[in-house]
């Protein structure tokens, strides 16, 4: 490829792809020779090349799985919001219980004061001490009245504040419930779309013969190989010399330990993953929680130039940030590709790169 010495992972990816291209049975799917026609004036319509048909199938599959990935991000985002909103509702419920207990206690105190007044004949304290002939009792009574008035005002003020707090907590809880319900609907709609897109892709693939499926897989690998070769031929790998941090090494170790596990939309492990489930769990294992979805990872994490990336950084793919992978060094990534595939190593340039983000800064 004219790019000099590659690292071990790059070499492995390139060799596998090169062998695939060189070994592709290009003549295995040639159109059969036309049967001689009984009439020399009539000719059979030309049969389109098999690879052209399969390329069209591959393009359609790519679109279906891409749309499923976008819907998966919507589903994951709704799921993440639901978790946060549910936690907030639980905390609000605790505050409501505390405020209600406090309000009940304050009402008991107010009731006790009212009962005390009833027992003294309904005369307010100031009237009672004014009727006293004892000067000292008069002075003591005046002090008690002032203290009682302050206590009464404080009790009324506390009752009012507690009632307002209770109403606010209840209002906040109601708002969170409404958001939770809206999120539930968004999640249900996304789930329906995911299943529809995947079912359509699987139906399309099921129509192919075994050899066609094998050739389709070869075409996918060839396309990835060509994209990776073009990316490496820019000389970019000569500029990428970043070293992984301690946290980055932990994240990479986690991600590579998942190799071979199946892709499943909405999954965060430990047995199955989707693309952002893998990257978010890898960084969570390193002690650095990051957003759950590829789109939020793109929005919230620090952006770095491709030439400055280092192992552990996340590469975001496609214009809508619908896919994410972890850079592991030597021009390679680990990612969970799509339904029907497993967590695997691939070339970092095998898909259109949107940009790179860094979780540990």
Task: Write out the catalytic residue numbers.
Answer: 275, 323, 335
Distance CA 347, CA 234 (A): 14
Nearest to 273 by CA among 227, 326, 311, 209: 326
Query: Hey, which bits of 78-220 come out as E strands?
Result: none
Q: From CA 138, how far away is CA 200, in angstroms rounded?
A: 92
Cis peptide leading into residue 161 (ω within 30°): no
Question: Nearest Cα to 305, choosing from 356, 237, 241?
Answer: 356
Instruction: Give the residue carrying structure tokens 């020779």.
Output: 33
Q: Which value, to the nearest 10 degrees, does the dihedral of the CA atoms of residues 134, 138, 139, 140 take?
A: 90
Asked if 228 contacts 13 with a C-beta cutoff of 8 angstroms, the reply is yes
For 163, half-sphere exposure in the C-beta direction (CA atoms, 13 angstrom radius) is: 8
| Other residues' Cβ atoms within 10 Å of the Cβ of residue 66 | 16
The C-alpha atoms of residue 234 and residue 332 are separated, in whole angstroms, by: 15
Q: Is 2 left (phi over 0), alpha (psi -120 to 50) or beta?
A: left
Q: For residue 58, which phi and psi values (nearest 5 degrees)?
A: -60, -40
């Amino acid at each position: 490829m004219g790019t000099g010495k590659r690292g071990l992972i790059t070499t492995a990816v390139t060799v596998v792809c090169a062998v695939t291209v060189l070994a592709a049975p290009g003549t295995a799917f040639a159109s059969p020779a036309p049967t001689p026609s009984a009439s020399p004036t009539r000719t059979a319509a030309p049969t389109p090349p098999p690879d052209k048909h399969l390329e069209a199938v591959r393009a359609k599959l790519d679109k279906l799985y891409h749309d499923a990935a976008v819907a998966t991000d919507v589903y994951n985002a709704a799921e993440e919001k639901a978790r946060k909103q549910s936690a907030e509702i639980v905390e609000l419920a605790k505050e409501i219980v505390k405020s209600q207990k406090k309000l009940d206690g304050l009402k008991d105190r107010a009731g006790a004061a009212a009962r005390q007044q009833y027992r003294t004949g309904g005369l307010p304290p100031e009237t009672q001490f004014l009727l006293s002939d004892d000067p000292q009792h008069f002075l003591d009574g005046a002090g008690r009245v002032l203290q009682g008035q302050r206590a009464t005002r404080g009790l009324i003020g506390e009752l009012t504040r507690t009632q307002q707090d209770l109403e606010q907590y209840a209002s906040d809880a109601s708002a969170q419930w409404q958001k939770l319900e809206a999120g539930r609907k968004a999640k249900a709609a996304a789930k329906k779309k995911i299943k529809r897109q995947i079912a359509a892709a699987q139906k399309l693939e099921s129509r192919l013969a075994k050899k066609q499926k094998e050739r389709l897989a070869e075409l996918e690998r060839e396309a990835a190989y060509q994209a990776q070769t073009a990316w490496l031929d820019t000389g970019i790998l000569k500029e990428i010399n970043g070293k992984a941090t301690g946290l980055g090494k932990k994240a990479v170790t986690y991600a590579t330990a998942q190799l071979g596990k199946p892709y499943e939309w909405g999954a965060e492990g430990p047995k199955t993953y989707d693309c952002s489930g893998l990257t978010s769990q890898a960084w969570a294992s390193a002690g650095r929680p990051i957003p759950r979805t590829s789109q939020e990872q793109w929005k919230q994490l620090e952006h770095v130039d491709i030439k400055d990336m280092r192992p552990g950084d996340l590469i975001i793919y496609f214009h809508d940030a619908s896919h994410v992978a972890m850079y592991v060094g030597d021009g390679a990534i680990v990612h969970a590709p799509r339904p029907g595939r497993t967590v695997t190593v691939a070339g970092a340039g095998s898909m259109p790169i949107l940009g790179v983000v860094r979780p540990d800064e």
